[in-house]
Structure 1
């Protein structure tokens, strides 16, 4: 689904990312790679391997849309305990496959204490926000005023849909006057149900499609 933001055409993708065609730029947030490994470190027996689905999905988007730049709006990994030997090998294969891509990572709240680990990968790391006119890319966990239109992640927005007997919660893109919040890209992420204002637009993500959800007055 293509929308206009700050006079730029942006395509919202059902894979829970966006494509800025003019820049050949793919933007996404909150992958939380290695969440299973972080839980294992804490004694929770969650099976490994979910990160492979997320990396495969990212590879599909990069190759399908001929992406040259990827901007990750924070929380690439889950914690400093995310990078097991298995995850490390898979990540190096992934980055070798996409060695022609320029990678930018905004450090989110989950990257705390993981800076040295992330230096093993080909990221241009940004500690705060990234001004990429007419946009301000930010994780969203710190408030900053800006003259640019803000695109952020962090909150993992979900929309609650009640239509007759139908009851469901779906990931969504939440568009406010000066801000677009992205759904979490990762397959092992939860979310928070938004309470949109009447003037907001909400784009729900279902399997292989995006559709607008009418906001209630």
Structure 2
């Protein structure tokens, strides 16, 4: 179940897979997929199941089918490291995806821009649309609302007794929204919200404001 949020008088849909859809622009924002991470870990002996390689592409197919966006913007760390076998899977995914694809470069995006250009993917260090600033790292800019990633945000919820639950989330402050990591094989960083912040946790295929 998705959740609709109004930001600067624009409608955005928060998806339980971690993507954010800007309705007016038909623009899907996704952050921190970290493609290639599974192969990277397997290369160095980590016991990661091979089927995990395909999971991210299945999730990408699912969220694209849910919104049918005109554009998809990856907010950095699309790939985890240097070129590996997952690039071929990505090429195939791009070929069958009708949306225009844009990459806002992140710190892990070290693959040559030439390869992205061959797939007609534009790369930016940042992207300004109307009064919104799209980046990988969190940024503060006067007059602009920032959508970003990098942090892999989560919060810790306390239950009865000593029960604790840590959940990935969309983390919103006055002028910024940090998207959760989309990648299936990624960690999280626990943030502590203030009373002024808004937190939308992902739990049981739902986005819930807490």
Q: TM-score, normalised by structure 1?
A: 0.88
Partners of 1:171 and 1:21 in 2: how far apart?
23
Per-residue deviation at 1:45?
4.1
Alignment of 1:132-151 (within 5 A): 132-140=129-137, 143-151=139-147
Partners of 2:46 and 2:160 in 1: how far apart?
38
Query: What SS does structure 1 have at the residue aligned with 2:59?
Result: helix
Partners of 2:65 and 2:204 in 1: how far apart?
20
5+ residue gaps in structure 2?
A: none
Give 1:6's aligned residue: 8
Partners of 2:81 and 2:87 in 1: how far apart?
14
Q: Structure 1 75/95 Cα, relative in aligned 2: closer, same or farther at 3 Å?
A: same
Q: 1:153 aligns with which of 149, 154, 161?
A: 149
5+ residue gaps in structure 1?
A: none
Deviations 1:88-130 (A, max 9, x none): 33222211211x211000110001354345445331111x210
Q: 2:43 aligns with which of 41, 48, 53?
A: 41
Q: Runs ≥4 in structure 1, deviation > 6 angstroms?
A: none
CA RMSD of aligned residues (A): 1.8
Partners of 1:122 and 1:76 in 2: how far apart?
15
Query: What SS does structure 1 have at the residue aligned with 2:108?
Result: helix
Partners of 1:154 and 1:107 in 2: how far apart?
11
Please state if 1:171 is matched with 2:168: yes
Q: Bigger shift: 111-120 or 159-168?
A: 111-120
Partners of 1:39 and 1:116 in 2: how far apart?
25
Query: What SS does structure 2 have at the residue aligned with 1:57?
Result: helix
